[in-house]
């Protein structure tokens, strides 16, 4: 692991738990958006 990743990991570990739910929602939105883009690309390539 790079020093930057270790610093980032310790910073994230020290964050209060109140932001965790918002982080999960943000990750879910990003994941759904990525899946939607992938689905559009696959459907366009299938034509």
Length of the chain: 47
End-to-end CA distance of the chain: 43
Provide the pLDDT for residue 38.
95
Planar angle of CA 19, 26, 13, nearest 5 degrees = 40
How far, in Å, CA of 47 to CA of 20, rounded? 41
Residue 2 has pLDDT above 60, yes or no: yes
How far, in Å, CA of 29 to CA of 7, rounded? 26
Provide the pLDDT for residue 18.
62
More confident residue, 35 or 9: 35
Domain boundaries, the chain: 18-47
- Per-residue confidence band for 40, with pLDDT thresholds at 50, 70 and 90: very high
Average pLDDT, the chain: 77
What are 22's two structure tokens?
């918002």
């Amino acid at each position: 692991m790079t020093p930057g990743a270790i610093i980032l990991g310790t910073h994230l570990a020290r964050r209060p738990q109140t932001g965790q739910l918002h982080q999960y929602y943000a990750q879910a939105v990003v994941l759904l958006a990525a899946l939607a883009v992938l689905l559009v690309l696959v459907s366009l390539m299938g034509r």
